[in-house]
Structure 1
Amino acid sequence: MNWQASVETTVTGLGYELVDCERSAAGLLRVYIDKLPEAAAAGELINVDDCERVTRQLQYVLEVENVPYERLEVSSPGMDRPLRKEADYVRFAGQEVALTLKQPFQGRKKYQGVLSAQPAELGQGWRIVFGDGEVEQAMDFSLEEVREARLVPVSPFKGRNSGKKPAPAKKKSGGAAKKKTGAAALGRKTDDKVHGGLDQ
């Protein structure tokens, strides 16, 4: 079993979602965890106790699996949580995301707007609705076209689900809103750290 599989098996076995994990050349192993979708929807957030629990279990598992690392950090993904897999896009549909494409579309790679599933008649895929202050546009994309996607942090006073629904894409005078379709478009140290949900 490789180290990523060991980390994922451990985290999910403890009842959490593995958001991401990464290793640096200096031996730092970072692990980002979250509550399962049902618990998160009920308002539960990752806290220090959760991170400590996962840290202790990972230290044991990584030693048994003989995975080399110098330092281990376990934390919440933060308010700008990355979207890595299909399930992330499903979970956060309707929320604002910052998207970076692998290849530019209409001269740009970076977009920010509301994420939604592509209309059924267009097949499986995703859509981001964005605007320039005057007119909204829609761009359809596949996950294979995405270099990076993250949630856009929302003010805690507004809340991520403040009841505001994204407006449908409007049409420009003289033509449909711009959109893109198809593939062409888009030794263990004692200084291990745990981070709670303060950045949630």
Structure 2
Amino acid sequence: MSKKDDIEKKTEALLTPIAEANGVRVYDVEYVKEAGEWYLRAYIDKDGGVDINECVDVSHALSDALDVDDFIEEAYTLEVSSPGLGRQLKKDRHFANSIGQDVELKLFKPRDGVKEFAGTLKSFDDTTVTVTINDIDETFIRKEISVIKLALDF
């Protein structure tokens, strides 16, 4: 397990009871380096969405827990937020909760000259994702997908 994965896993373990105590659930945790700075991002959600006060409460509690466990060596910025309307689907639980919803996906390499697709998420397994596009089921290899997210419908 990489250092990044280890930090994300440990943070999610700390975050889960904090989220539950605040009436929300963990959507995702990511530890990323952007422009030379480290960010620990915790995404929380609940039916109907989360508000700023829930994010603040979870952020304070998580920050305190991280200070106690102190398993991250480098300086980082902690961010707690909603995953947003166009949330990325990364984990099996994200896919499972999104069956039947419209998604947009981008591939690392074009398929028949096309890298971007939109349709309805039909199914998934450990290695593939099936999306219905214009009444045709298209199956994509998960490791070939750079991003898959819920489509924004205005």
Q: TM-score, normalised by structure 2?
A: 0.77
Instruction: Provide structure 2 residue ranges, at least 5 long, that are not aligned to the other structure.
Output: none
Q: Equivalents in 2 of 1:90, 1:27: separation in Å?
A: 30
Distance 1:142 1:27, change over 3 A: closer
Q: Could you say what the CA RMSD is over the residues aligned between the two structures, in angstroms?
A: 2.2
Structure with the larger RCO, 1 or 2 (CA within 8 Å, 6+ apart)? 1
1:142 aligns with 2:141: yes
Q: Equivalents in 1 of 2:95, 2:69: separation in Å?
A: 32
Residue of structure 1 equivalent to 2:81:
75
Residue of structure 2 equivalent to 1:54:
58
Q: Equivalents in 2 of 1:53, 1:111: separation in Å?
A: 38
Contact 1:99–1:150, Cα closer than 8 Å, also in 2: yes
Q: 1:90 aligns with which of 96, 104, 116?
A: 96
Contact 1:8–1:18, Cα closer than 8 Å, also in 2: no
Q: What SS does the aligned partner of 1:18 have?
A: strand
Map Cα deviations across residues 29-87 of structure 1 (whole Å, 9 max, x no partner).
Answer: 3222222xxxx2xxx31112221122112211222232233422110011001100122
* Amino acid in structure 2 at the alignment position of 1:74: V
Q: CA deviation at 1:125?
A: 4.2
Residue of structure 2 equivalent to 1:3:
7
Higher Rg: 1
**Larger helix proportion of the pair:** 2
Residue of structure 2 equivalent to 1:129:
132
Map Cα deviations across residues 169-198 of structure 1 (whole Å, 9 max, x no partner).
Answer: xxxxxxxxxxxxxxxxxxxxxxxxxxxxxx
Q: 1:32 aligns with which of 43, 54, 64?
A: 43
* Amino acid in structure 2 at the alignment position of 1:23: V
Q: How much identity, in percent, do the aligned residues show? A: 26
Q: TM-score, normalised by structure 1?
A: 0.61
Instruction: Provide structure 1 residue ranges, at least 5 long, that are not aligned to the other structure.
Output: 119-123, 156-200
* Amino acid in structure 1 at the alignment position of 2:138: M
Equivalenced residue count is 139
Q: Equivalents in 2 of 1:49, 1:81: separation in Å?
A: 20
Q: What SS does the aligned partner of 1:27 have?
A: strand
Q: 1:12 aligns with which of 1, 9, 16?
A: 16
Residue of structure 2 equivalent to 1:22:
31
Contact 1:95–1:114, Cα closer than 8 Å, also in 2: yes
* Amino acid in structure 2 at the alignment position of 1:7: T
Q: CA deviation at 1:143?
A: 2.4
* Amino acid in structure 2 at the alignment position of 1:129: T
Q: What SS does the aligned partner of 2:37 have?
A: coil
1:65 aligns with 2:69: yes
